[in-house]
Structure 1
Amino acid sequence: MYTFKKEERLCNKKLIDKLFHNGSSFLCYPFKASWLLIDEPMQFPVQILFSVSKRRYKHAVDRNLIKRRMREVYRLNKQKHLYDTLNSSNKKIVLSVGFIGKEIAEYDFSEKKMLKLLTQLCDEISK
């Protein structure tokens, strides 16, 4: 339940290209989410990709810190806020969450915004 396995990560280059060319996106500052419904069979209802701009954060230490925080917040909240909705509607998606903030956010702020992003994503999917 509170795990984040390799199979949940989006690594397939074809799916990533399809996501960024055909997917929908929305902004929930400091995150930008892109998502796409897919028909392919997957073990988990969501495959996710986290990204942080190299142009904005020059040091890998900063990028890694932000990605670690994003992964941790997602890991702790995905079941309740995303998986339950997707499993009940029997849908599967690929998702990209990019950090576009100007400064490194504290964990509490990131958690609050990620929860908002997940609920907004569920609303978009159920339309």
Structure 2
Amino acid sequence: MDTSYSQIEKLKSKKLITQLFEKGKTVTIYPLKLVYLETQFEDNALLKTGVNVSKRNFKKAVDRNRIKRLMREAYRLNKAHYFSNTSKHYAFMILYIDKEMPNLKFLDSKMKLLFKKFKEKVV
């Protein structure tokens, strides 16, 4: 698995996002929350991932977009290590639930813990 975050890996289907929040399970490592659902994709992608930051906690779109960029980068850096040997297909939504502005180093360490906890819960 490469370390890119290509167009095929982005979670964009409203139907799938709705299904994810209705039937999905969660794993939380504060300030990140992972909602996941085992599913099958038409384009045979292994993972589809979306990120979200609450407008309630960050009023300015600039701040929300910055956090989402950092979360996508942390995901991109860690996905190859944690999901290279999986054969199941998952849809992920990663939520940032804190009120403080993070940096990449902090999000990277939390993302590693989140994926580790996810692997323990699934296996």
TM-score normalised according to structure 2 size:
0.93
* Identity level (%): 34
CA–CA distance in 2 between the matches of 1:123 and 1:45?
19
Number of positions where the alignment pairs a residue of Structure 1 with one of Structure 2: 122
Give the counterpart letter for 1:116 in structure 2: L
Give the counterpart letter for 1:76 in structure 2: L
**Counterpart of 1:123?**
120
Moved over 2 A (4+): 39-44
Larger relative helix fraction: 1
User: Per the alignment, in what secondary structure is the counterpart of residue 111 of structure 2?
Assistant: helix
Q: Given the alignment of the two structures, is residue 10 of structure 1 paired with residue 7 of structure 2, yes or no?
A: no
* C-alpha displacement of 1:55: 1.0
* C-alpha displacement of 1:115: 0.5
User: Per the alignment, in what secondary structure is the counterpart of residue 47 of structure 1?
Assistant: strand
The unaligned stretches of length 5 or more in structure 2 are none
Q: 1:90-105 to 2 correspondence within 5 Å?
A: 90-105=87-102
**Counterpart of 2:70?**
69
* C-alpha displacement of 1:111: 0.6
Provide, for residues 70-116 of structure 1, a one-character-per-residue CA deviation record: whole Å limited to 9, x for no partner.
001111110111x2242xxx200100000001201121111100000
* C-alpha displacement of 1:44: 2.6
TM-score normalised according to structure 1 size:
0.90
RMSD across aligned positions (CA): 1.2
CA–CA distance in 2 between the matches of 1:36 and 1:44?
14
